[in-house]
Structure 1
């Protein structure tokens, strides 16, 4: 059934983004036509997965097909419910929810977005697919001096975060000044900011931060630190508000690959065993609750 939906489209400067995440934004209203993607439509026409440029977790193959842990996991889950055609679109994290709302993407890859109450107002999430904490990569000179977002704020350090990610919100809530928060489009770009000394601290989820530090920096001059004072976060696949049938099918496929052992094999293949802690115990409803 086709209908009109009212969506908020906002334009603002980077500084205003950071400030208004807490106090609101000035927005304009725009309408567009949309319709729910049914399971039968997904089975016949396939799905488009929104992915970040974060190899080896998410990427596009030279032929345009999605690859990496997140998309591989998504495909295994969706094949269990009869969906066998997949395409991918690379985009920044902050663009994923608008892409899902406008039907440019059917879902976000399972490891791309953490489930947050504010995001639950805009999209619906599958059951948690991976869980973990947050991590910093910083110069060895700061080792022992920075282990929390409050430490970053108190020492007036510059921190790099991905746009729209949990770390951006945590930095703001801890009191980090807007001018000290730099947004990077992907992990590789963020690590370059650190190498170029444009930021003092690189922030991401703990597993990603640890992996990037090992792959992209000189281990003699940087250190990985697990962030203290934050709750466990869980990532899941996001769908349009009306795609309940498709989301429920995804949950069924997830249940099946967990039961068969396929899920754990994939996590071990990419060295993300620790990201399974909390999966099957923490619910999406709990994560969406304010």
Structure 2
């Protein structure tokens, strides 16, 4: 429908040229912009929604800039723990072509809904009831908890999101992520919630003292600490007022068949040992704990 709306807009401009004096330079620029946008919208290739389409044309994986868990190689190939796991899973059901689009976490569900991406990488999004209203998730692919990265001076003083709220601390979170929701639910003031586009940017905010602490899942927090800080400067703590979270690949509501095929592939790589092989490669064996103890249906209702 978007391309139709843009086409109508372009037509309205064309008709107005007959009724009004010749366009000024600004109006010419506007017309060129709309015409170009219309053409791009009409010719834009949407991602696969069925297994047959995925086998034929491949899939587009939405990833965040969070190495080593997710990244784009120089040639545009998605890589890292999540995409490597996704590729192993989908290869089991005959999908062999993979491309990636890097984006912020909060942009992933809109990208899936608009078919600009086929799926979000398996470790990118936790399964939450509100997200289950917008997309369909695969079976859980990894599980973990919540963590804070904070200055050594705050260790022992901040253990929960409620502590953050009560002490009026500024907390860094990725936009649209679980940590943002947990902050709001605990009563952290909107002005004290600072959005960062990726973990590297978040750590820069922390180093520059523009935030008091950074929130993320345990695995990503550990990697950020290892890569960008020092235990003498910042430390990681597990958040006490949160429960186990599980991540899964997300698909559009039109892609149930492809999601089901993904689940088949996931079961196959777990049975063959390939799943644990990939997890060990990235030091994330702990992420396998819990994936067989909770279902997506349970995560979507709790």
Distance 1:182 1:107 in 2: 27
Distance 2:279 2:102 in 1: 22
Q: Which has the higher helix share?
A: 2
Distance 1:138 1:58 in 2: 23
| Alignment partner of 1:147 out of 159, 164, 170 | 159
Residue 211 of structure 1 deviates from its aligned partner by 1.5
TM-aligned CA distance change 1:35 to 1:108, over 3 Å: closer
**Deviation per residue, 1:258-281 (Å, 9 max, x gap):** 001110111111011111110122
Distance 1:252 1:133 in 2: 26
Task: Determine whether 1:249 maps to 2:261.
Answer: yes
Distance 2:133 2:104 in 1: 20
**Deviation per residue, 1:108-146 (Å, 9 max, x gap):** 000000000000000000000000000000001001001
Cross-structure match for 1:5: none
Distance 1:208 1:266 in 2: 16
**Deviation per residue, 1:193-243 (Å, 9 max, x gap):** 100000001000011111211210122111110110111000000000011
SS of alignment partner, residue 259 of structure 2:
helix
RMSD (Å), alpha carbons? 1.6
SS of alignment partner, residue 150 of structure 1:
helix
Task: Determine whether 1:202 maps to 2:205.
Answer: no
Q: Which has the higher strand share?
A: 1
Task: Determine whether 1:39 maps to 2:51.
Answer: yes
TM-aligned CA distance change 1:217 to 1:35, over 3 Å: closer
Cross-structure match for 1:164: 176
Does the 8 Å CA contact 1:36/1:240 hold for their aligned counterparts?
Answer: no
Distance 1:246 1:181 in 2: 36
Deviating beyond 3 angstroms after TM superposition, the runs of 4 or more aligned structure 1 residues are none
For residues 279-290 of structure 1, what are the structure 2 equivalents within 5 Å? 279-290=291-302
TM-score (norm 1): 0.87
Distance 2:47 2:55 in 1: 16
Cross-structure match for 2:270: 258
Count of paired positions: 260
Does the 8 Å CA contact 2:47/2:60 hold for their aligned counterparts?
Answer: no
Task: Determine whether 1:188 maps to 2:200.
Answer: yes
SS of alignment partner, residue 236 of structure 2:
strand
Structure 1 regions of 5+ residues with no counterpart?
A: 3-31
SS of alignment partner, residue 86 of structure 2:
helix
Report which of the two structures shows the higher radius of gyration computed on alpha carbons: 2
TM-aligned CA distance change 1:260 to 1:277, over 3 Å: same
Distance 2:47 2:235 in 1: 48
| Alignment partner of 1:73 out of 85, 88, 111 | 85
TM-aligned CA distance change 1:44 to 1:36, over 3 Å: closer
Distance 1:121 1:152 in 2: 29
Of residues 131-140 and 205-214 in structure 1, the stretch that sits farther from structure 2 once superposed is 205-214
Structure 2 regions of 5+ residues with no counterpart?
A: 2-41
Cross-structure match for 1:217: 229
TM-aligned CA distance change 1:35 to 1:186, over 3 Å: closer
Does the 8 Å CA contact 2:112/2:252 hold for their aligned counterparts?
Answer: yes
SS of alignment partner, residue 278 of structure 2:
helix
| Alignment partner of 1:102 out of 92, 95, 114 | 114
